[in-house]
């Protein structure tokens, strides 16, 4: 186990291992996404209240899940990077941020597209929408800090501190927004309502969630591979790799 982790932490081994894993993740993602979309758009029955409009959850909900999941991965990788000074963890954290920001943006856009026919307006200061918006700002701040500091190692460590501060604050922000919102208006529209979601609707949703996770894994590994090559461009193994191409 420890030797595996040590090998993973070395950029060279990571590069090769990631190269072998990417096709698996990519194909898994494609298969699951096709299955999820067929199940969600074809087999799942229309919602009794929202009709076919509810089907946007097959993009919206997984995107929202990913926006939180990726922030957690980012914070975890940042902690590993700052405590054990593992370069690969810094790279993973830095490469995750733009993907997380994109998923957050996607969740916001699909949420407001869904809101127009359902709530009659593109934007409601609903608790979840608001905390998602603040999450987007946190991602953008992280990326801004990363871009502003020239020294790579300092940038990684500074943004790691920011990610950790953010992860402590996220629950506080989320619950204060929920609390703020309940003061202003009654119950928010909840996709899941009181009744459990029907199985025929749930299975495609879970498939899509898995597909999105694999999509993230694929993209983050691809980005990390490029970042590794760029950072290690002066090292022997990268030179040999490029010569052999």
Partner 1 sequence: MTGFRLFTAFYTLLRRDLLMAFRHRGELANPLLFFVLVVSLFPLALGPDSRTLAPLAPGVIWVAALLASMLSLEGLFRSDFDDGALEQLLLSPHPVAVLVFAKVLAHWLITGVPLIVLAPLLGVLLHLPQPGMPALMLSLLLGTPVLSLVGSIGVALTVGVRRGGLLLSLLILPLYVPVLIFAASAVGDAAHGLQVGAQLTFLAAMLVLALRLAPIATGAALRISVG
Least distance (Å) between residue 107 CB and partner 1: 17
Pick the piece of the chain touching partner 1 (CB under 8 A) from 67-75, 89-97, 170-178, 232-240.
Answer: 170-178
Q: Does residue 165 bind partner 1 (CB under 8 A)?
A: yes
CB nearer partner 1, residue 75 or residue 205:
75
Q: How far is CA 113 from CA 53, 161, 201, 204, 208, in A?
A: 10, 35, 20, 20, 19
Pick the piece of the chain touching partner 1 (CB under 8 A) from 37-45, 48-56, 60-68, 164-172.
Answer: 164-172
Pick the piece of the chain touching partner 1 (CB under 8 A) from 7-15, 17-25, 89-97, 160-168.
Answer: 160-168
Q: Which residue has the tokens 């991602």?
A: 139
SS3 state of residue 234: coil
Q: How big is the CA angle at 178 (ends 175 and 180), to the nearest 5 degrees?
A: 105
Q: Does residue 154 bind partner 1 (CB under 8 A)?
A: yes
**Interaction residues for partner 1, span 122-151 (CB under 8 A):** 134, 137-138, 140-141, 144-145, 148-149, 151
CB nearer partner 1, residue 149 or residue 197:
149
Among 168, 186, 234, 240, binds partner 1 (CB under 8 A): 168
Q: Does residue 98 bind partner 1 (CB under 8 A)?
A: no
- Residue partners of 78: CB distance under 8 A and separation at least 6: 89, 90, 93, 159, 160, 161, 163, 164
Residue 47's beta-bridge partner residues?
A: 51
H or E element, residue 85: none
Q: In 3D, which of 191, 171, 173, 193 has the Cα closest to residue 181?
A: 173
CA distance 127 to 159: 27
CB nearer partner 1, residue 104 or residue 213:
104
Binding site for partner 1 (CB under 8 A): 134, 137-138, 140-141, 144-145, 148-149, 151, 154, 157-158, 161-162, 164-166, 168-169, 172-173, 176-177, 179-180, 183
């Amino acid at each position: 186990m420890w030797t595996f982790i040590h090998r993973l932490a070395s950029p060279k081994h990571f590069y090769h291992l990631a190269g072998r894993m990417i096709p698996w993740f990519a194909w898994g993602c494609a298969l699951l996404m096709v299955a999820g979309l067929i199940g969600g758009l074809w087999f799942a029955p229309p919602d009794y209240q929202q009709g076919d409009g509810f089907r946007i959850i097959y993009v919206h909900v997984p995107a929202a899940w990913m926006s939180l999941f990726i922030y957690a991965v980012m914070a975890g990788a940042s902690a590993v990077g700052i405590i054990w000074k593992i370069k690969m963890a810094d790279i993973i954290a830095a490469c995750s941020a733009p993907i997380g920001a994109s998923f957050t943006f996607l969740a916001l856009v699909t949420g407001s597209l869904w809101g127009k026919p359902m709530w009659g307006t593109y934007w409601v200061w609903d608790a979840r929408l608001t905390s998602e918006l603040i999450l987007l700002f946190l991602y953008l701040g992280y990326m801004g800090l990363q871009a502003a500091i020239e020294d790579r190692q300092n940038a990684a460590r500074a943004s790691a501190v920011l990610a950790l501060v953010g992860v402590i604050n996220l629950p506080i922000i989320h619950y204060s927004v929920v609390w703020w919102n309940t003061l202003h208006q009654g119950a928010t529209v909840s996709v899941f309502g009181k009744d459990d979601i029907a199985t025929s609707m749930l299975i495609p949703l879970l498939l899509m969630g898995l597909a999105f996770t694999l999509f993230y894994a694929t993209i983050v590994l691809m980005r990390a591979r490029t970042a590794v090559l760029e950072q290690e461009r002066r090292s022997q193994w990268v030179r040999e790799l490029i010569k052999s191409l």
